[in-house]
Amino acid sequence: VTVPVVFRGPNGAAAGVAAQHSQDYASWYAGCPGLKVLTPYNSEDARGLLKAAIRDPDPVVYLENEVLYGHTFDVSDEAMSPDFLLPIGKAKIEREGTDVTLVGYSITVGVSLAAAEELAKLGLNAEVINLRSLRPLDEETIFNSVKKTHHLVTVEGGWPTCGIGAEICARVMESDTFHYLDAPAFRVTGADVPMPYAKKLEQACIPEAHNVVRTVKMMLNIK
């Protein structure tokens, strides 16, 4: 039996919409057997993944971040082709590196890339992975990156408990990739509270580049 349906909608913190409209449901849906869960970051992701979702014979949950609606991204000639599709279940390495692996999805890919630029000023070369697909999850890309960098930090806007980062860390621990780690894996997440309405409090709950940089420095014992 096929169920070719796509559920598309906003997900995660936006701006000033408080606890009623700021939840990140990625881990909720990704925990459901039978669903495929996609989280685009940039324009090419949005085009290629949505077309792939529409063509898929199974139910797909397609989660967009509202803040990214106002962002512009460069688009390749390949992505403008009518035949352009992105494979479901395949992550993309947005930035290659050798010292630490940063794994994010949706808007936190941008957070991770910004953090990588700051880490470069400290002489650290971070690899940034754009998951694109949360279920199925591209374990191979994550594992290969961690085996190269020997360090892992996951970045997500959702709550820490039972989140995507927790799932990734568990899979690394349960695989032979664990033996390549030179330090414990760390998670950068949204604050474990309902999202406040006040702007300053809202900003304090959302992971930003400096949170990632601080976590990497702590992991590597850099003062």
* Interval 144-191: pLDDT, tens: 999 999 999 999 999 999 999 999 999 999 999 999 999 999 999 999
Which residues fall within 8 angstroms of residue 125, CB to CB, at 6 or more apart? Answer: 97, 98, 99, 119
Residue whose pair of structure tokens reads 């997500």 in the numeric block: 156
6-80 to CATH, choices 3.40.50.970, 3.40.50.170, 3.40.50.720, 3.90.550.10 = 3.40.50.970
Q: How confident is the model at residue 96 (pLDDT cuts 50, 70, 90)?
A: very high
> CA-CA distance, 149 to 171, in Å (whole number)?
17
92-219 to CATH, choices 3.40.50.920, 3.10.270.10, 3.90.1150.10, 3.40.50.620 = 3.40.50.920
| pLDDT for 23 beyond 90 | no
Looking at the chain, which residues constitute the CATH 3.40.50.970 domain(s)?
Answer: 6-80
Asked if residues 98 and 116 have their Cβ atoms less than 8 Å apart, the reply is no
Backbone angles phi, psi at 121, to 5 degrees: -65, -20
Structure-block tokens of residue 32: 């459901």
Backbone angles phi, psi at 18, to 5 degrees: 60, -160
* pLDDT attached to residue 17: 78
By DSSP bridging, strand 152-155 and strand 100-104 are: parallel
* pLDDT attached to residue 214: 98
| pLDDT for 16 beyond 80 | no
* pLDDT attached to residue 48: 98
Q: Which residue has the higher pLDDT, 56 or 17?
A: 56
Which residues fall within 8 angstroms of residue 83, CB to CB, at 6 or more apart? Answer: none
Portion of the chain with pLDDT greater than 70, in percent: 100
Q: Which residue has the higher pLDDT, 195 or 88?
A: 88
The arithmetic mean of pLDDT across residues 87-102, rounded, is 99
Asked if residues 138 and 91 have their Cβ atoms less than 8 Å apart, the reply is yes
Average pLDDT, the chain: 96
Closest-CA residue to 157 (of 187, 122, 123, 136): 187
| pLDDT for 21 beyond 90 | no
> CA-CA distance, 185 to 1, in Å (whole number)?
40
Portion of the chain with pLDDT greater than 90, in percent: 91
Structure-block tokens of residue 134: 């949360």
* pLDDT attached to residue 22: 81
Closest-CA residue to 156 (of 178, 134, 182, 183): 134
Looking at the chain, which residues constitute the CATH 3.40.50.920 domain(s)?
Answer: 92-219
* pLDDT attached to residue 151: 99
* Interval 100-133: pLDDT, tens: 999 999 999 999 999 999 999 999 999 999 999 9
* Alpha carbon separation from 218 to 23, 49, 62, 120 (Å, rounded): 28, 35, 34, 16
**pTM, to two decimals:** 0.96
The arithmetic mean of pLDDT across residues 185-212, rounded, is 94
The arithmetic mean of pLDDT across residues 7-35, rounded, is 90
